[in-house]
Structure 1
Amino acid sequence: MSSADAVPEVHPATADGPASSGNAALSDEGSTPHPDAAAVKQTLHRYLQKHRAALLAKLDGLAERQARWPVTPTGTNVLGLVKHVAGVQAGYFGAVFGRPLPDAPAWLDATDGSDMYAAADETLDDVVAFHHRSAAHADATIDALDLDARGTVPWWPEEHREVTLHRILVHMAYETARHAGHADIVREMLDGLAGDGDGNLAEKTTEEWAAWRDHLADIAERAGLRELHA
């Protein structure tokens, strides 16, 4: 995809798509003034699972080339985001708590950016399978430990390395949501698929989305001209 490519037509993700498995109905967890640790852990875990599902859903329907295609100057691509999150998840819920992922791939400890793209000898299915394996291992750690279980993050500054499961659950929910958002934008740039079917995307026709974008572009142009003449 280049700057000369046409803007893809928007087609919102459906409510019954892959992401919907992470969009569990609101529950009463966390609604009490002083929830117990089990309820807090359940809430954090559910949000992590929601964002995982939203991220993986961005691969649905993509061919190998599309899934790998870099759409930003720094090479951001959907498959690379899924691989990166899977690797980060394996580290934070694995080695940090003395529960390293068995048979971890060599790239897991690499610092050359190889976690941000699928290599030529890796397939889309390979990356998705590793993400599922990483998630299952993380879930086992979450289930086995209490929120105040202690761990050590060796790649963090020394004064911040000592952590709890609570801290890591918050960190990984944030990390996964951040990259799911990246993937959402990358996917929209590739073929126009937008949102995750949770009802937060405005309902517009293709023509209405085109008019909306033109409206925003017009505002940007006029703001730029006003700045030039200020």
Structure 2
Amino acid sequence: MNESKAKADLQRYLQGARDALVWKLEGLGEYDARRPHTATGTNLLGLLKHAAGVELDYFGQVFGRPCPDAPPWVGTEGEPNHDMWAGADESRADILALARTAWAHADATIAALPLDAVGRVPWWAEERAEVTLHQILVHVIADLQRHAGHADILREETDGAAGLIAGNENLPSGDAAWWAAYRERLERTAREAEGR
């Protein structure tokens, strides 16, 4: 496989995760976009903010290509989980703009460098700190897809909206009654298995 084809394949998966994170915010009010769903505070807008920071760090700092438009918290230690939530002074539009800035910067890095370009991840252990663009693409895709999965669950918990991406939900086409029966079947099965 030639390099341009490999890059295109990797970027397609990267963009898929980006799009999923944005889609999971569509149609929600400010509260539902920000509210913590888990004991660790996981929230939809925070996932998008975190993903933007990940791209700015890995496709910027790691390859000596810092983004001039990155917010000051990118690449810093800061307060624990500072990138996992949006403050009241950070609008959803601000976080979406940050994400689009991160995407453009990451895409420019990917276009400018060969897949075997060497970078350094200063926050990783020294023995694995030296990386290639290919490694970082795979790492960031895995990270963003993981967070897209988190977003899937949070959104379904919020208002029942589920699916892979707009126009391709990748779910059976059952109505509410079908899904209720399906869920009840799974509940019965779990109770039967527990009782054995």
- Normalising by structure 2, we get a TM-score of 0.94
Matches of 1:210 and 1:107 in 2, distance apart? 44
Provide runs of 4+ in structure 1 moved above 6 Å: none
- Corresponding residue for 2:131? 163
Q: Tell me, what secondary structure is at the counterpart of 1:193?
A: coil
Q: How many residues align?
A: 192
- Corresponding residue for 2:59? 93
- Name the amino acid aligned to 2:28: L
Q: Tell me, what secondary structure is at the counterpart of 2:131?
A: strand
Kindly state the Cα deviation for residue 200 of structure 1 after the two structures are TM-superposed.
1.8
- Normalising by structure 1, we get a TM-score of 0.81
- Corresponding residue for 2:89? 121
Matches of 1:221 and 1:150 in 2, distance apart? 52
Over residues 154-201 of structure 1, what are the superposed CA-to-partner deviations in whole Å (9 max), with x where a residue is unaligned?
A: 011100011111111111111111111110110000000001232521
Structure with more relative contact order (C-alpha pairs < 8 Å, separation 6 or more): 1
What is the Cα-based RMSD across aligned positions, in Å?
Answer: 1.1
> 1:1-230 to 2 correspondence within 5 Å?
35-108=1-74, 109=76, 110-195=78-163, 196=165, 197-226=167-196
Kindly state the Cα deviation for residue 225 of structure 1 after the two structures are TM-superposed.
2.4
Kindly state the Cα deviation for residue 105 of structure 1 after the two structures are TM-superposed.
1.7
Q: Tell me, what secondary structure is at the counterpart of 1:223?
A: helix
Matches of 1:124 and 1:155 in 2, distance apart? 29
Matches of 1:44 and 1:104 in 2, distance apart? 23
Gaps of 5+ in 2: none
Aligned residues: percent identity?
54
